[in-house]
């Protein structure tokens, strides 16, 4: 059984002002307690833009995609004026989720009693429920969610006020100037359910390349680890690394072709990553499911057309890296769950992006 914790005390056990040389990482409770997940839901996820999908999923009026984020069911649809709109995917009658998956539709009809909403979210039909006029006065349209697009991505904001995504990420976009989004075409989505707290996965991503040598031996001799660089932005960070001039000959795939000359790994608070390497881009969205389980969604894009065989081979190589990361994340979670481990330390030469993440989290916790 989970021990009751004092949330305020646990938040303060992380001392954000300490230098990276002396700082302790957040205590294990941040990674194991349902109380922290509840706190994160409104203090973190409801306060920031969350990337949920791609613009290419909405080409024609009526195209839609739906999903669930932190338990909030949503649907995003292109309306009759070709504007993207988002709603809670919840019927006003008894709360049934209306849309499923992706598709194209003129209107959304609830499968329960047939209440029907147009693409603008307006209730237009409620069979046998009385005059539409009187229903309308009761504000029974679908509840809107703020939606925004950035590059090829679509983001939702589940809270009340939101600063523009454009402004917030302008400095990151500048650093991506050598890697423009325009030629990128979506290739495939791959989802992994990982047995760790969502922050364990993000921490692993933000360790400044520290784990690469140990965990990804296949990657190590492909990257110039000595030239690894990190940049900390306001609510984002960027890790960059040139690729090795002469990749090892025993590489299982043609890594040079797959990775190109330079790899960029961008993270956007709280749970979105964009990875650029050679002709490839992939994005990772990390969604908490429970305190010690998360879902990681990989969307792969490629610049222009490529042979299917090359795509498959590259995706297999990528899957190998994901398997290595997931395995290590599971082992971290086992240690966190032990009750023995309390707080760790940072490797100062590498883990500044991780410390940056923990500071952002704590700031949000304290504002809640």
Where do contacts with Fe ion occur on this chain (CB under 5 A)?
325
Cβ at position 99, least distance to ligand FES in Å: 12
The yes or no reply on residue 96 touching ligand FES (CB under 6 A) is yes
Build a one-symbol-per-residue string for 55-94: x at contacts with ligand FES by CB under 6 A, - elsewhere.
------------------------------------x-xx
Query: Of the ranges 113-121, 218-226, 241-249, 258-266, which one interacts with ligand FES (CB under 6 A)?
Result: 113-121
Build a one-symbol-per-residue string for 300-319: x at contacts with ligand FES by CB under 6 A, - elsewhere.
--------------------
Cβ at position 91, least distance to ligand FES in Å: 3
Pick from 110, 196, 202, 263 the residue near ligand FES by CB under 6 A.
110
Cβ at position 77, least distance to ligand FES in Å: 17
Q: Which is nearer to ligand FES, 116 or 146 (CB)?
A: 116
Residues 6+ apart with CB under 8 A from 342: 27, 28
Residue 179 binds which of Fe ion, ligand FES, none (CB < 5-8 A, kind-dependent): none
Residue 325 binds which of Fe ion, ligand FES, none (CB < 5-8 A, kind-dependent): Fe ion
As a three-state string, the secondary structure of the chain is CCCCCCHHHHHHCCCCCCCCCCCECCCCHHHHCHHHHHHHHHHCHHHCCEEEEEHHHCCCCCEEEEEEECCEEEEEEECCCCCEEEEECECCCCCCECCCCEEECCEEECCCCCCEEECCCCEEECCCCCCHHHHHCCCCCCCEEEEEEECCEEEEECCCCCCCHHHHHHHHHHHCCCCCCCCEEEEEEEEEEECCCHHHHHHHHCCCCCCHHHHCHHHHCCECHHHCEEEECCCEEEEEEEECCCCCCCCCCCHHHHHCCEEEEEEECCCEEEEEECCEEEEEEEEEEECCEEEEEEEEEEECCCCHHHHHHHHHHHHHHHHHHHHHHHHHHHHHHCCCCCCCECCCCCCHHHHHHHHHHHHHHHHC
Cβ at position 256, least distance to ligand FES in Å: 55
The yes or no reply on residue 113 touching ligand FES (CB under 6 A) is yes
Q: Which is nearer to Fe ion, 23 or 329 (CB)?
A: 329
Cα atoms in the 13 Å half-sphere on the side-chain side of 109:
8
Q: Which is nearer to Fe ion, 10 or 325 (CB)?
A: 325
Looking at the DSSP assignment, which residues form a beta bridge with residue 285?
272, 297
Query: Of the ranges 13-21, 52-60, 111-119, 270-278, which one interacts with ligand FES (CB under 6 A)?
Result: 111-119
Cβ at position 96, least distance to ligand FES in Å: 4
Cβ at position 124, least distance to ligand FES in Å: 13
Cβ at position 92, least distance to ligand FES in Å: 8
Q: Which is nearer to Fe ion, 44 or 212 (CB)?
A: 212
Cβ at position 209, least distance to Fe ion in Å: 9
Rounded Cα distance, 45 and 42, in Å:
6
Q: Which is nearer to ligand FES, 115 or 350 (CB)?
A: 115
Q: Which is nearer to ligand FES, 111 or 217 (CB)?
A: 111
Q: Which is nearer to ligand FES, 89 or 275 (CB)?
A: 89
Joined tokens for residue 57: 């999923």
Binding site for ligand FES (CB under 6 A): 91, 93-94, 96, 110, 112-115
């Amino acid at each position: 059984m989970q021990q009751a914790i004092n949330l305020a005390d646990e938040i303060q056990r992380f001392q954000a002002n300490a230098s990276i040389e002396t700082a302790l990482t957040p205590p294990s409770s941040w990674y194991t307690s349902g109380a922290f997940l509840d706190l994160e839901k409104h203090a973190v996820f409801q306060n920031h833009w969350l990337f949920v999908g791609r613009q290419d999923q909405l080409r024609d009026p009526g195209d839609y995609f739906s999903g669930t984020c932190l338990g909030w069911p949503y649907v995003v649809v292109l309306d009759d004026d070709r504007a993207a709109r988002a709603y809670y995917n919840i019927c006003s009658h008894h709360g049934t989720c209306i849309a499923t998956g992706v598709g194209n539709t003129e209107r959304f009809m609830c499968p329960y009693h047939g209440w029907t909403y147009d693409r603008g979210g307006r209730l237009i039909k409620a069979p046998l429920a009385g005059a539409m006029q009187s229903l309308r006065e009761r504000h029974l349209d679908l509840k809107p969610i703020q939606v925004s697009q950035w590059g090829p991505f679509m983001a939702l904001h589940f809270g009340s006020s939101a600063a523009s995504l454009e402004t917030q990420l302008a400095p990151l976009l500048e650093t991506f100037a050598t890697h423009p989004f325009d030629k990128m075409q979506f290739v495939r989505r791959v989802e992994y359910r990982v047995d760790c707290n969502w922050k364990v996965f993000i921490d692993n991503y933000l360790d400044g390349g520290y784990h690469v040598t140990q965990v990804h031996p296949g990657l190590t001799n492909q990257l110039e680890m000595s030239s690894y660089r990190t940049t900390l932005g306001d609510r984002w960070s960027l890790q960059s690394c040139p690729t090795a001039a002469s990749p090892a000959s025993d590489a299982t795939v043609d890594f040079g072709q797959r990775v190109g000359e330079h790899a960029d790994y961008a993270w956007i608070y709280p749970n979105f990553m964009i990875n650029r390497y050679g002709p490839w881009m992939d994005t990772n969205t990390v969604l908490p499911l429970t305190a010690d389980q998360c879902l990681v969604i990989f969307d792969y894009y490629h610049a222009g057309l490529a042979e299917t065989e090359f795509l498959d081979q590259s995706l297999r190589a990528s899957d190998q890296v994901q398997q290595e990361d997931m395995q290590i994340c599971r082992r971290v979670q086992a240690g966190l769950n032990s009750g023995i481990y309390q707080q760790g330390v940072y490797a100062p030469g590498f883990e500044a992006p991780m410390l940056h993440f923990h500071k952002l989290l704590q700031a949000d916790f304290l504002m809640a």
